[in-house]
Amino acid sequence: MNKEKVLIKAIKYRIKFNKDIYRILSVIQYDVFRIKNKATSMAWDWQQFSFGYNERFGEFPKEKDFLGKVLFTDIYQELRGMGENISSSTYNAAIKESVDKFKEQRLRITRGEESIANYKKTGSIPIRESQIKGIEKLNSKTYMCNMSLLSTKYVKELRIERNDKTIKTQFPITLMSGGSASSILDRIITGEYKLRDSRITMDRKNRFFLAVVYQFTPEVKDGLNKDNIIGIDIGVAVPAYLAVSNDGYYRQPVGDAKEIRNFQNQMESRKRALQRSRKWAGDGSVGHGTKTRIKPLEKLSGKIARYKEHKNHVWSRYIIEEAVKNDCGTIQMEDLTGIAVDSPFLKTWSYYQLQEMITYKAKEIGIDVVKVKPTYTSSRCNKCGNIHFKEDKNSWRDTQDRFKCMSCDWGHKFYVNADWNAALNISVFGIEDIIKEQLEVQKKHSIDVSEMQKEI
């Protein structure tokens, strides 16, 4: 019996500012910061002891034999004083998160490939699903929920401090929403989506957000043809170019490279101007020194990142719509690992992010995603299969956006769009093996021609 496929995603909601709530969240955030770093330090100490013990006795010590309990429980009990202000759920989650992270990276740490995780004071607060109760819609842009974040001990202290007996371990938080984000909370309220363990985060403006994690069963598009493949070429002329395996005439550019370059040039120009102006910044811009001086630059960097993310969302959504429209049950994309070194444009654009968005949006509706090696997909003629080489590139690729086959007459007496030709190649099932076989044929032919010339 096949299990239903489920997906887990997250979406952020701003926590409406309230002086008392923000103060409490800051206290919890600081405690979590201390707990995570101390737990990591204790995990590292045990790791060092284990290695030393192994060198001396030829085996690793068992946690229960030396600690009387597993490492997590030992750390949990040792740090209890640090977590006396926060709920046991958050305290438990903070320790588990840091210990699990350390165990996951410890081998890379010992090999010197990574540094030990160092958690920041402005870091996130883990929230268990059970700590979020009674999500309620107030209007189209405002929701409210009750969150259990405080320990009983801390609540008693707050009641005395503020002379307010109404303070409880659970208190109301207002969430600011809007647009499609509201529909997620609506579906959680109705039970269509299941709430999962989430977290509270802080942005650079010191605003708190609730990153809601939810689980749902995707609405799979029935009847899409898995043998019909849409190929996606990530390029310089346009961010993405589409072709369909069973339609030699379909071609679709996605995005405008000129728009991207203009935006990037504009932002880089503003960054350079800001960097120059920092030298003569007035007292109001100096503030606490370097941090205040570079704040405008950080703000600009955030704007660039948001622009890229927005564009990638728009383009990935359009690509999925095109796949469905053309009855494509499979998407094939280039595996672009390491390709950025050859292209300054690709290096500066978040093409990995675009591919990730395409992948998860495709999986939501049941479209398969396949990564193929990009080698020779741009230099292969999609009609005759002939592969061209770099040494003759001026003949078959005189500009970045034009391709002309030097072997066949498929309209390649004239130049065609290079990205379209590449996308058509990427849309072919088993293209990697086909290219490999073609290379062998061309290599053999080259040897045969060479031998014939020797005879002559």
Q: Is 157 a catalytic residue?
A: no
Q: Are β-strands 402-403 and 132-139 bridged in parallel, bridged antiparallel, or unpaired?
A: unpaired
What's at 154, amino acid-wise? Y
Phi, psi (5° rounding) for residue 429?
A: -65, 130
Q: Of residues 419, 437, 448, 455, which has the active-site annotation? A: 419
Q: Of residues 334, 342, 368, 437, which has the active-site annotation? A: 334
What distances in angstroms separate CA 386 from CA 10, 81, 192, 420, 445, one per listed residue? 46, 71, 52, 16, 12
Helix pair 351-364, 290-325: axis angle to 10 deg: 40
d(CA 45, CA 40): 9
- Of 229, 197, 42, 50, the C-alpha closest to 132 is 197
Full 3-state SS string of the chain: CCCCCCEEEEEEEEECCCHHHHHHHHHHHHHHHHHHHHHHHHHHHHHHHHHHHHHHHCCCCCHHHHHCCCHHHHHHHHCHHHHCCECHHHHHHHHHHHHHHHHHHHHHHHCCCCCCCCCCCCCCEEECHHHEEEEEEEECCEEEEEEECECHHHHHHHHHHHCCCCCCCEEEEEEECCCHHHHHHHHHHHCCCEECCEEEEECCCCCEEEEEEEEECCCCCCCCEEEEEEEEECCCCCCEEEEECCEEEEEEEECCHHHHHHHHHHHHHHHHHHHHHHHHCCHHHHCCCHHHHHHHHHHHHHHHHHHHHHHHHHHHHHHHHHHHHCCEEEEEEECCCCHHHHCHHHHHCCHHHHHHHHHHHHHHCCCEEEEECCCCCCCECCCCCCECCHHHHHHHCCCCCEECCCCCCCCCCCCEEHHHHHHHHHCCCCHHHHHHHHHHHHHHHHHHHHHHHHHC
Q: Is 233 a catalytic residue?
A: yes
Q: Of residues 31, 233, 322, 364, which has the active-site annotation? A: 233
State the CB neighbour count (10 A cutoff) for residue 442.
16
Q: Is 334 a catalytic residue?
A: yes
State the CB neighbour count (10 A cutoff) for residue 420.
23
Q: List the catalytic residues.
A: 233, 334, 419
